[in-house]
Chains A and B, each alone.
Chain A
Amino acid sequence: MIPNQLNHKTFEKPWHGQVFAITVSLFEKKIFKWSEFSDFLAQEIKKDNNMLRNGSDDYFYSWVKALERLLIKKKITNFSKIVEVKDLWSSAFLNTPHGKPVKIGDI
């Protein structure tokens, strides 16, 4: 049964909106063509196509992976750099007292 959500929220989680906006913003700067991105997105979705994906969290996770691949292909960054900065954020969250703004230092 396909769910028929009447109350559609554009972005169910803030990071969905964030990764969407980053991608559109880079596209507007002509860093890539939309078809280059959508090809990667389609590949990422296909990798995990099991009829269980609900098109929300899992869909935007594919979006994140597609964008990472595109940034690496365009030599804007590389995979180890992404992991490095991600780890900085993880430890910042784990080391920042509850309620205080979470920040990372220079990268």
Chain B
Amino acid sequence: MTDLKNNEGHSHHHNHSVLPEEPELRVKAIETLLIQKGLIDPDTLNELIDTYENKIGPKNGARVVAKAWADDSYKERLLKNSTKAIEELSYTGRQGEHMVVVENTPETHNMVVCTLCSCYPWPVLGLPPSWYKSDEYRARAVREPRKVLKEFGLSLNEDVKIKVWDSTSEMRYLVLPMRPIGTEGFSEDELAKLVTRNSMIGTGLPELMDD
């Protein structure tokens, strides 16, 4: 336990443990009740947390994108039946049951939002970043996508059409960004390194490394 924050530089000693904030106490209460009922197991919880903190993340999605860039027949399968093609790489499971991959082209840029809550394709992107769950992004992505993209540092030409996809608990989207120019001859591994998380949500582009 650490001392309370905002103690203005002086050490603030407590003779009791620091009382956690309200939601944390509520979570502790729920956890206690569910363990008592045998409905959850602390080891399973720790494994789940570890999985989403360390094992599942945008690196998975980057493999999908890189393979689509490198292999035309895979790309065709991916756009035709996204869930099945992603399954080929073993990225399956929770919140990835019904995937739709949308392809960026010189004419159309895609971006993904969940206006109601935070639906997101966990197996390929992990859990969503805070901004994806913020009121501002959820409200403005549909209303003024071009302006929002600009704030992400992405200025699209006026003639590029922006399509915004609203995720639901049934349907999850992954953006297939355009392959960067100058990457001819790159291996799949090299290509995967260029794929950023935001480029697969549509709020960014793949990044060419400086070296």
The answer to whether B27 touches A93 (Cβ under 8 A) is: no
Number of A-B contacts (CB under 8 A): 192
The answer to whether B36 touches A107 (Cβ under 8 A) is: yes
Given the known interface contacts A35-B169, A93-B19, the answer about A15 and B130 at a Cβ–Cβ threshold of 8 Å is no
The answer to whether B131 touches A22 (Cβ under 8 A) is: no
In the bound complex, residues from chain B placing their C-beta under 8 Å from that of A98 are 1, 13-18
Give which listed residue, B17, B24, B203, contacts A100 with CB less than 8 A.
B17
Given the known interface contacts A10-B53, A81-B33, A90-B25, the answer about A25 and B130 at a Cβ–Cβ threshold of 8 Å is no
The answer to whether B34 touches A4 (Cβ under 8 A) is: no
A34 to B26, CA, bound (A): 21
Q: Report the minimal beta-carbon distance from A105 to chain B, rounded to whole angstroms.
A: 11
Given the known interface contacts A76-B39, A89-B32, the answer about A102 and B53 at a Cβ–Cβ threshold of 8 Å is no
| A1-49 with Cβ < 8 A to chain B | 1-5, 8, 10-13, 15, 17-22, 24-27, 29, 31, 34-35, 38-39, 41-42, 45-46, 49
Give which listed residue, A25, A41, A94, contacts B118 with CB less than 8 A.
A41
The answer to whether B23 touches A34 (Cβ under 8 A) is: no
User: B157-178 interface mask toward A, CB cutoff 8 Å, 1 = contact, 0 = none?
Assistant: 0000000000001100000000
A107 to B35, CA, bound (A): 11
In the bound complex, residues from chain A placing their C-beta under 8 Å from that of B13 are 98
Interface of A is mostly: helix
In the bound complex, residues from chain B placing their C-beta under 8 Å from that of A94 are 16-17, 19
The answer to whether B19 touches A59 (Cβ under 8 A) is: no
Within 8 Å of chain A (Cβ to Cβ): is B44? yes
User: A44-60 interface mask toward B, CB cutoff 8 Å, 1 = contact, 0 = none?
Assistant: 01100111111111011
Give which listed residue, A39, A55, A93, contacts B131 with CB less than 8 A.
A55
The answer to whether B16 touches A5 (Cβ under 8 A) is: no
How many of B's residues come within 8 Å of A, CB to CB?
62
| B175-211 with Cβ < 8 A to chain A | 197-198, 203
The answer to whether A89 touches B37 (Cβ under 8 A) is: no
- Counting contact residues on chain A (CB < 8 A from B), the size range is 35 or more
In the bound complex, residues from chain B placing their C-beta under 8 Å from that of A99 are 1, 17
The answer to whether A4 touches B198 (Cβ under 8 A) is: yes
Given the known interface contacts A93-B20, A97-B17, A98-B14, the answer about A4 and B48 at a Cβ–Cβ threshold of 8 Å is no
- 26 A-B residue pairs with CB within 8 Å: A3-B130, A4-B153, A10-B52, A15-B27, A18-B45, A21-B45, A22-B31, A25-B45, A41-B118, A42-B117, A45-B117, A52-B135, A53-B134, A54-B134, A55-B118, A56-B133, A59-B130, A61-B23, A64-B26, A68-B26, A81-B33, A85-B32, A89-B20, A93-B20, A97-B15, A100-B17
16 extra A-B contacts, CB within 8 A, seeds A55-B130, A59-B134, A89-B32: A1-B151, A3-B130, A3-B131, A10-B57, A15-B24, A25-B44, A42-B116, A54-B130, A54-B131, A59-B130, A68-B26, A76-B33, A82-B29, A93-B20, A96-B17, A98-B18
